[in-house]
């Protein structure tokens, strides 16, 4: 969701999402709640973070609290390392509507926090390099 939101703020950004233990597909409820706000996750697929460890990045941002603890060390050049933690909605329990509400809450938290990060930091850095 974070990748999709950042790309929606500025389609020219190069954004990659990866996990330490990715599933075989994007969670269907994540797809559904993103569609509710007009963002398609079509073509998105889970990737393992290992494929990016040697790459250079302006930002490496962990979003799940357990990822902060288990994320491997990026050996490529990284200008900014941030942790912006969110509950993992895939771990939500309850009725289908209760689980969907957790996905919606986390979606909205991600959108708000990443919009703030984009406005306060990323957009300013993009202007410096163009």
Query: Which one, of 103, 26, 19, lies nearest residue 61 by Cα?
Result: 19
User: Which fold does the domain 2-124 belong to in CATH?
Assistant: Rossmann fold (3.40.50)
Helix (H, G, I), strand (E, B) or coil at 79: strand
The pTM of the whole model exceeds 0.75: yes
**Phi, then psi, of 85 in degrees rounded to 5:** -80, 140
Q: What is the pLDDT along the chain (130 residues), one digit of tens a residue?
A: 999 999 999 999 999 999 888 889 999 999 999 999 999 999 999 999 989 988 999 999 988 766 556 666 777 889 998 989 899 999 999 999 999 999 999 999 999 999 999 999 988 776 544 3
């Amino acid at each position: 969701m974070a990748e999709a939101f950042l790309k929606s703020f500025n389609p020219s950004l190069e954004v990659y999402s990866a996990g330490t233990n990715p599933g075989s597909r994007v969670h269907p409820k994540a797809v559904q709640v993103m569609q509710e706000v007009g963002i398609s996750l079509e073509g998105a697929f889970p990737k393992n973070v290992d494929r990016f460890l040697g790459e250079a990045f302006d930002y490496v941002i962990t979003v799940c609290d357990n990822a902060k603890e288990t994320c491997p060390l990026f050996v490529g050049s990284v200008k900014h390392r941030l942790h912006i933690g969110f509950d993992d909605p895939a771990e939500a329990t309850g009725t289908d509507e209760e689980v969907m509400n957790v996905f919606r809450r986390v979606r909205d938290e991600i959108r708000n926090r990443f919009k703030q990060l984009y406005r306060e930091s990323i957009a300013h850095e993009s202007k410096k390099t163009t």
